[in-house]
Structure 1
């Protein structure tokens, strides 16, 4: 018994010297989209991957669908350290820097391949922009091509005139106005109420968003234009990032690389399926007629020149580098 007591005492003494096991770091994350959205599904896979790759040293709790912080306030919450990590839609912040809305200019990048190339050219600029404000981007994900949700059929641009359109960025607002719409920027979560009060009667957005807001309750036609592949970004507070041990940072980086690749694949794979869902809920789905595409390309050229007037030489250099790779 004395031997057992001595061994037990020695074990307890060693445990006391070693101290308690290090607790896992816990982060809080917010996104404005519901769990059914492919962006949110991808985030959940990213979170699982982070925990696995970090061997449980970093745990992230996700609050989706505006349940913690309204979507347009997430960037500010991450910057202030209110939450450590969040998902933002870059086009919302065009008033802060023109680079945020470049991918929202019609036909600047109108395919996934072009959007990927543009993303790579923009990345160093965004790295500096977010770093200056105490944040960093972990990865980017693209929205599918965009289209018009309307109550009446669409054949020419004249069918848009005077219609009250909900859009999501300053770039798409300008495009909508040039097409003849009365365009209003509204957060995603306010769309159903805006329809019910008559504030809007049409949308310009992706098939995914149309499903998220059940657009078939308020519109009957979806006219796919492509034209724009805008981006979301998952961002992290820089101070929270620096507090992570190097191996955990590496784990998060590896998970982010995988999540970015998966985001682009998921976006492309879901577009056809989503258009079938719209049709299955009674909507008439079509590709935009040639006159509308021609007008949107014309508008895109004007908007690029207007964009250049507000952009810095560094931002214009990004666009020039992108165009050079498209030749």
Structure 2
């Protein structure tokens, strides 16, 4: 059996159903995260609300954990109409525009309230950018806050000099370099081996990642900084959306707004639960000192100026709108 042809036929068949005059419309949605992730759990609730509002008119088949389409390819698949809905991580597209990495700058929006205000300031830009591509952002979801996993107590950050740190993006590498680390970008899957071979001595990542790799096997302290709340989003193909009854379109948009509000609360709970899990495993879990937070804020200010140098007028205007809410 030719699996590629079988897969293609299945997708084509589902899309034909969605555009026909049948009583029930079938949509396909892809996500890159597992079922036990709060991102996926939130999407399941979004789908339940949409299907209930449709009175059986619309059914959404969610394929999570990259089962159907890998995370990096989901936006293109929604844009092309291969699927109708998808969950993306905005930071994946940082090479296309600085706007996608603004929420990656340390302490620019280091707590959940600030992250919400930054999202609101970015929305008009995302609406236009995705609209030009025939898509619409329905919902936003913040990643849990970040922190340092180390083999020593962290006070003011002076201990970071020449420590080998694993980070996960160009923005966090720049942050690590400015803190004095020897920062290295490594894929998540390579972290345990990198600790074992001495390639890295510390991590900067979320509580979720720390529990996933059982960081207590390699580090004794987790110092929570918050620092940044990168965002995921639910996007929809606008042509598919426009084919639905106007009342159902409004219900989908409303369900997306509810999913955004819910995601903020779910992310907060995930942060707290993962911190507790790290503590239960024997790690010393603390909040960053005022001195360390001040240092991160200084670095964030430097990185904002670097960010603005490559940003468009519209992107800088969005940043200025956000910064005005912080005064």
Question: TM over 0.5, yes or no?
Answer: yes
CA contact (8 A) 1:27 1:61 kept: yes
* Equivalent position SS for 1:22: coil
Match of 1:96, SS state, is coil
Name the residue aligned to 2:276.
276
User: Aligned partners of 2:108 and 2:173: how far apart in 1?
Assistant: 16
Matched position secondary structure for 2:236? strand
Please show how residues 175-254 of structure 1 align to structure 2 within 5 Å: 175-186=175-186, 188=188, 191=191, 200-254=200-254
Offset of 1:125 from its aligned partner?
0.5
Task: Report matched runs for 1:155-174 at 5 Å.
Answer: 155-174=155-174
Q: Which moved more, 1:22-31 or 1:192-201?
A: 192-201
Asked if the contact 2:108–2:297 (Cα under 8 Å) also holds between the matched residues in 1, the reply is: no
Q: Secondary structure at the match of 2:77?
A: helix
Question: How far has the Cα of 1:192 moved from its partner?
Answer: 5.3
1:316 deviates by 0.8
| Counterpart residue number, 1:296 | 296
1:209-246: CA deviation from partner (whole Å, max 9, x where unpaired) = 32344333443321101121222111122332233332
After superposition, the Cα gap between the structure-2 partners of 1:95 and 1:111, relative to the gap in structure 1 and judged at 3 Å, is: same
Matches within 5 A, 1:1-327: 22-186=22-186, 188=188, 191=191, 200-327=200-327
Distance apart, 1:57 and its partner CA = 1.9
Distance change (3 Å), C-alpha of 1:209 and 1:62: farther
Task: Kindly indicate whether the alpha-carbon contact (under 8 Å) linking 1:51 and 1:57 is maintained by their aligned counterparts in 2.
Answer: yes
Partners of 1:135 and 1:235 within 8 A in 2: yes
Q: From the superposition, tell whether residues 216 and 192 of structure 1 become closer, same or farther in structure 2 (CA, over 3 Å).
A: same
Q: Secondary structure at the match of 1:286?
A: strand
Query: Aligned-pair distance for 1:311?
Result: 0.6
Aligned length: 308
Deviation at 1:290, TM superposition (A): 3.6
* Corresponding position of 1:4: none
Q: Distance in 2 between matches of 1:52 and 1:46?
A: 10
Q: Corresponding residue for 1:14?
A: none
Q: Distance in 2 between matches of 1:212 and 1:145?
A: 15
**CA shift at 1:155, angstroms?**
3.5
Give TM-score scaled by structure 2 length.
Answer: 0.84
Point out the more displaced range, 63-72 or 109-118. Answer: 63-72
Q: 1:309 to 1:26 in 2, by over 3 A?
A: same
Partner deviation per Cα, 1:258-310 (whole Å, 9 max, x = no partner): 11111111122332222111111222211223442222111111001101100
Show structure 2 runs of 5+ residues with no match. Answer: 1-19
SS in 1 for 2:110: coil
Structure 1 residues not aligned, in runs of 5+: 1-19
Provide, for residues 163-213 of structure 1, a one-character-per-residue CA deviation record: whole Å limited to 9, x for no partner.
443433332222122223343445556655665676655332222332344
Is the deviation greater in 194-203 or in 297-306?
194-203
Contact 1:135 1:236 in 2 (8 A): yes
The TM-score normalised by the length of structure 1 is: 0.84
Name the SS of the counterpart of 1:40 in structure 2.
helix
Q: Which has the larger radius of gyration?
A: 1
Q: Distance in 1 between matches of 2:47 and 2:297?
A: 39
